[in-house]
Amino acid sequence: MKPPICCICNKRIKNFENAGLVSFKKRSSDIEWEEKMEREGKVGHPPYADWFCKKHYEKANKLSYLPIHKALKQFDE
């Protein structure tokens, strides 16, 4: 698992009340990744999930029906 740093603004997350890991819609490559990890007995940071700070968490949650690469495009700063 990656350290808890917001993938949008690179802020380290200290308070997890309104911030945290958001899992997005899995693409076929994400399902392949999961199957591979399970087969090899490994753990890692899921390619379809990332950390979001308080400022970006709510929006990320609302976009979680999208695959992650599409959701991240919705964040324009």
Residues found near Zn ion in the complex (CB under 5 A):
6, 8-9, 53, 55-56
The residue sitting closest to Zn ion, measured at its beta carbon, is 6
Of 11 and 25, which has the nearer Cβ to Zn ion? 11
For residue 52, give the nearest of 13, 26, 24, 25 by alpha carbon: 13
Are 7 and 72 spatial neighbours (Cβ–Cβ below 8 Å)?
A: yes
- The residue among 1 and 9 lying less far from Zn ion, judged by its C-beta, is 9
Q: Of 27 and 54, which CB lies nearer to Zn ion in the complex structure? A: 54
How far from chain centre, in Å, is Cα 72?
A: 9
